[in-house]
Amino acid sequence: MSLSLKKILNNLILESVSETYIIDAITNGNFVRITYQEDNGNTTKRIINPHALGNDKRSGNRVVRAYQSFGNTKTGNAKWKYFRIDKIIKWETLPTKINKPISDYDPSIPKYRKGDRTMGTVSKQK
């Protein structure tokens, strides 16, 4: 079995999404379509633009900080959100890319703040 096939199979078995895909989307500015499992067990589809990968300061969970531009949400608003990696059921990197933070394209969107204070550690950020 080739190493890359083994890595793919391990990712399917051990976690819902490979951090490699997350890092690539942050680096390249891709939008991503995710299927996310809510706390109540329901799944929702969302489109996000990831900006940071790290650990939540309080829980230690691995999270993605992203701007959610489309899809279901408790608040009903598009905004900056955390997504727990273990709750992302499906990750589809879309061909749509942006080179600057999304807030640079739309002044009504709050700017992403590097050095996210709610993350204990930041592994990668835009």
34-90 pLDDT, tens digit per residue, is: 999 988 888 999 999 999 999 999 999 999 999 998 887 766 666 889 899 999 999
Q: What is the pLDDT of residue 121?
A: 86
Tens of pLDDT, residue by residue over 26-49, are 999 999 999 999 888 889 999 999
Which of 81-85, 105-109, 115-119, 120-124 bottoms out in mean pLDDT, i.e. has the lowest? 115-119
Residues in contact with 9: Cβ distance below 8 Å, sequence separation at least 6, in sequence order = 1
The distance from CA 125 to its chain's CA centroid, rounded to whole angstroms, is: 11
φ/ψ (deg, to 5) at 77: -110, 140
3-state class of 18 per DSSP? coil
Average pLDDT over the chain reads 84
